[in-house]
Every structure is written in C-alpha cells, then in structure tokens.
Amino acid sequence: MSQQPNPSDVVEPLENGTDTVDESSPPQRWYRVDDFLAMGLGALIIMVAAAGSLATRPGNFTELTQAHQIVKTQLKQLDSRSESFSADRKQLLKQQADLEGQMASMPLKSWLVRPGEWKGDPRTAFTKNDKSIVPPLVATFAVMLILFSATTIVQGQSAVKFAFGFFGVFSLALVSYVLAGQEVIKHYNLEYALWAVLLGLLISNTIGTPKWMSAATRTEFYIKTGLVLLGAEVLFNKLLALGLPGIFVSWVVTPIVLVTTYLFGQYVLKIPSKSLNLVISADMSVCGVSAAVATAAACKAKKEELSLAIGLSLIFTVIMMVVQPFIVRASGMGEVIGGAWIGGTIDSTGAVAAAGELVGSTAKDVAATVKMIQNILIGVVAFAVAVYWVSFVEPSTDGKRPSVIEIWHRFPKFTLGFLGVSLAMSFLQAQGIEGKTLVSSVVDGTTKSVREWLFCLAFVSIGLESNFREYRKMLASGKPVILYLCGQTLNLVLSFLMAWLMFEKIFPNAANELISK
C-alpha cells in the first residue's frame, strides 16, 4: 500500500494562506510569510545581478556608448531617405546589436543554464558549443539550493529535509527540460511546463510522492519568486514598439476578450470555479503560460486549475501555429495584418514567431512585436485580478463588502513586488543606453534563467501534489474546453478586425513602412 496520503484528498489553493491570521496559533512574523520572502529573494537576485554587471563593465564603456550613438544617428539618417538601403540598414543594425552586446556585461550567465536542444542522443542536451554544461548545471543547483534553504531556515523549517527534497524536485525539473529539448517536441511548442506537470503526476499517481521529496514541493513560493523576477522583464517602455496599431491590437482587444470570456464562462457556461474560468480566460487572451501563472497566483487558483489551463493552451497553440499561417497565406491578408493577427491570438511568444516565420520575415517581426506588447499586459492583469478577487469574489466574514484593512490582509502582496520591480526596471530602461544595457544584463544574464527554473520547479511540484482524478472531474463537463474554444474564436475575430482597421484603414502607411525597407 502506498505510504503517502492520496494527493487528491485535499486540493489546496495555489495561495496557501500563509499571510492570513490563524487565531489558534501565534501570529506569523511578516518576514516568514511567503509573499515577503519571495519579494526579498527576488530583490536580492536582481541586486546581485546588477552589481555583478556594473562591476564587470568593460573599461571602454564610454567609447562604446559614443560608438553606439554614432551608429544610431547613421541609422536615422538612412531611414530619413526615401530610397531603400536594405543591406546598409542590416549592417548598421548588426553593429548596433554588437555594441549593445559588448556593453551589457553578464558575468553570471554562463553559470545559470538549462539543458539544450537534442535530436537522437539526449547527452548532447548537456553540451553547448562543444563544451559540457554539467559544471554550470551543478552551480545552478547549488545556488538555488542555498537560496531556498536559507528561506526554509527563516521560516523555521528543516533545511536538511528541504535539501534532500530539493534534489528530487530539481532532478525531475532537469528531466522535464531534457524531454522538452528533443527537437520535434521543441519545434512543435510542447513546452517544459507540460512535461514537468506530467512527470510529477506520473510519480504521485503511481508510487505516490515520496515523503522526503514533499519538503521541497513549494509550488506557491517558487511561483511567487519567479513572478517577482518576471517583473524585471515587464518593461512598459516597450508599449509603443509598434506605435498605436500595436497598442490597439494588444491592449484594447486583449482586455475585451479576457473580460467577455470570463463573463461568458460565469453566466452562460456557469463554470463552477471562478478561478478556473479566470485562469483559462487569461491564458487564452493574454500570453499563455506566463499569464496563466500570474493570474492563478493573483486569484489563488487551485494547482490543478493552473495546470489544466496551461495544458489547454499548449494543445491549441500547437494546432494554431500550423493552421493560422496557412489561413494567412491562403486568404492573401498580407504579412502585416497576418502577423498582427497571429501575434494577437497565438498564446506563446515562441509559437508566434514560428508561425509568423511561415508567412514571411515581416509577418514574424510584426507578430513577435505584437506578442511582446501583449506580454507587458500581464503586470496590469495580475494586479487588476488580485484587486478584483479580494474585493469582490472572496466572501467576507460578515457577508458585507470587505473593508480596506480586510482587503489589504487578503491581498496577494507579492503582486506589489511584481509590479514594483516592473516599474523600477522600466524606469531604468528609460535612462538611455546605460540603463538599457544594465536591464538587459540583469534579465538576460541572470533573472530570466532563474525565473525559468523556478517555474519548472513549480510545475513539477504541482504534478507531485495533484491527482488525475481532479483533472477528470474538471474536464467531465467539457466546459473548460468550450470556454477556451469560444474565447479563442472571439479573440480571432476581434484581433483580425482590429489589425485590419489599424493597418488597412487608419494607419495604411504603417504597413507600407514595415514592409518597404
């Protein structure tokens, strides 16, 4: 008989309520609460990355800055002429990229890695440029073990037990990355999140999650810390990357689809779980996995609800990234409108770029840029969902609208860290090339890798704490699939209409400008 309690007996919310006051036990000190610890840990990682980057800046940074300014001016002069200078333009853009690469020092990047792509021999996933990445992988494990063991000690738990468990969870995350790295799996967008949840589920539903591993299945904490780090990538300066058309396709259509789908789920489909409804609506309308994670944490969704929403998103993304480019080409809607349509509707960024490329280079650029602008929306969506949830959805103790103090107690405070980091990094990004390269070195050199690992650890933990029966129960009515399909249909129609309106009727020169050079 299994030694473990059946994980489906208790379905825990993603938010474990550690920041609420339990009257039967002494009040928990604020610094032991997951939300504050996640914010502290996130801030520490960002500060170490920034300090490392500043300390290792190249000696000729000033000269590089001046050279960058010269290239930028040359590029502007070239773009101001009516003739097309495609080759010169490409050359200048390459120079600009090289200079920015030299200016953004990333001392930690080569030590924070994950397995790469492979075809027939999985051992090749552990090499990069013919060099073994095993030592950096060990370093990645060690860094994360130290950081999370320290937080375990702060929370008054056993660091030794955590270390054993973390070894198990990290190993499963590593296997998930290897499975996701097989080239067919990778190029058809079956992301690591799916394999991480499935591996966890496989163990919890066969032999049961071993007790020694349970000490490190800290889903909420990994997600909250990962989201605080994700804040560094949510840069509001990128909003105007595609001018007003980009804003309209990404920031006007998306909220309309999100709210309409949620209301449809509530009042037409009558989905019993509001959080499941909201997570599916957000991951379908905003940007897939990352939006699902942020929304689920903000509305305290159940672990199974998050993984179900991600599963739906991944399955439909695989279909859409094959079908949509075909429709764009067959209908002759053009690369710009087609690209904007693909960018506004396919859930994940990588799939958007791959689908856009099947249409053409301009379509890929437009699609990826629209998706990038949409990505930025998740900061606002997560915050809005958190406010809406604690103010209007969670029942009040006396049945009345909760007071401001009650709202503050319930509020998932890590979202403030998420938004705070996002605003701080956006401010830094706006401080010329120095700020831009510093942000780039922090994100590309450190926080992105740590965030990816944290999400993978969270998905493994979700699998280890879940049961297939829960998924069967949620899918029995078919309502989550109907919700996704109806919402995505609306998304497809509205995104196309908005892209057509913007690039064909209101800003026709924008489309010409994007194609011409």
Partner 1 sequence: MMMWRPGTIGLLIAILAIVGVWLLVLPTVSNLPSVRERIDSNHAAGINPTAVFYTDHPGMADIERSVQSRVDSPTGWFWKRSQ
**Pick 12 or 444: Cβ nearer partner 1:** 444
Contact letters (x/-) for partner 1, 428-447, by CB under 8 A? ------------x--xx---
**Using the 8-state DSSP alphabet, how is residue 140 labeled?**
H
Buried b (16+ CB within 10 A) or exposed e, 114-142: bbbebeeeeeebbeeeeeebeebbebbbe
Residue whose token pair is 């950081």: 147
d(CA 182, CA 190): 10
Provide, rounded to whole angstroms, the least separation between the CB of residue 26 and partner 1.
39
Return all residues near 315 (Cβ < 8 A) that are at least 6 apart.
none
CB of 159 to partner 1, least distance (A): 28
Cα separation, 168 vs 55, whole angstroms: 35
Beta partners for residue 132, in sequence order: 127
Sign of CA dihedral 456, 458, 461, 462: negative
Q: Report the site for partner 1 in 322-351 (rule: CB under 8 A).
A: 348-351
Cα 364 from Cα 437, distance rounded (Å): 25
The stretch among 37-45, 105-113, 184-192, 389-397 that binds partner 1 (CB under 8 A) is: 184-192
Name residues contacting partner 1, limited to 446-485 (CB under 8 A).
448, 452, 455
Among 40, 243, 255, 435, binds partner 1 (CB under 8 A): 243
Nearest to partner 1 of 32, 238 (CB atom): 238
CB of 351 to partner 1, least distance (A): 6
Report 284-303 residues binding partner 1 (CB under 8 A): 287-290
- The mark string for 480-499 relative to partner 1 (x by CB under 8 A, - otherwise) is --------------------
Q: For partner 1, which residue of 8, 33, 65, 89 counts as binding (CB under 8 A)?
A: 89
Tell me, what DSSP letter sits at residue 458? H
| Identity of the residue, 107 or 208, whose beta carbon is nearer to partner 1 in the bound complex | 208
Q: CB 98 → partner 1: shortest distance, Å?
A: 11
Q: Minimum Å distance from CB 315 to partner 1? A: 14
Least Å from the CB of residue 121 to partner 1: 9
Beta bridge partners of residue 128, listed in sequence order: 131
Q: Which of residues 354-373 bind partner 1 (CB under 8 A)?
A: 354, 357-358, 361, 364-366, 368-369, 371-372
Q: Which is nearer to partner 1, 117 or 406 (CB)?
A: 117
510 binds partner 1 (CB under 8 A): yes
Q: What is the DSSP letter of 114?
A: -
Q: How far is CA 35 from CA 15, 148, 379, 413, in A?
A: 10, 14, 16, 6
Q: Which residue among 33, 147, 202, 387 contacts partner 1 (CB under 8 A)?
A: 202
Q: What would you measure as the largest C-alpha separation in the chain, in angstroms? A: 77
Compute the least distance from the CB of residue 325 to partner 1, in Å.
Answer: 11
- Give the chain's radius of gyration (CA, Å): 23
CA-nearest of 470, 410, 424 to 273 is: 470
Which of 413, 216, 298 shows the shortest CA–CA distance to 14?
298
Residue placing its CB nearer to partner 1 in the complex, 274 or 448: 448
Contact residues for 143 (Cβ-Cβ < 8 A; gap 6+): 111, 112
Which one of 12, 100, 406, 434 is in contact with partner 1 (CB under 8 A)?
100
Q: Which residues ranging from 107 to 126 are in contact with partner 1 (CB under 8 A)?
A: 119-120, 122
The interface with partner 1 within residues 126-165 (CB under 8 A) comprises none
Q: How far is the CB of 92 from partner 1 (least distance, A)?
A: 9
Q: Which amino acid is at 473?
A: K
CB of 391 to partner 1, least distance (A): 28
Binding residues among 399-428 for partner 1 as defined by CB under 8 A: none
Are the C-beta atoms of 297 and 224 separated by less than 8 Å? yes
Binding range to partner 1, per CB under 8 A, among 143-151, 164-172, 198-206, 269-277 = 198-206
Count of residues that interact with partner 1, criterion CB under 8 A: 81
Non-local (6+) Cβ contacts of 374 within 8 A are 250, 251, 254, 286, 287, 343, 344
Interface residue with partner 1 among 182, 266, 273, 391 (CB under 8 A) is 182
If one asks whether residue 64 binds partner 1 (CB under 8 A), the answer comes out as no
Within 215-234, the residues that bind partner 1 by CB under 8 A are 230, 233
Q: At closest approach, how far in Å is the CB of 53 from partner 1?
A: 16
- d(C-alpha 20, C-alpha 18), whole Å: 6
Alpha-carbon torsion (169, 174, 176, 179), positive or negative: negative
Residue 506 found at the interface with partner 1 (CB under 8 A): yes
CA dihedral (38, 44, 47, 53) in degrees, to 10, reads -110
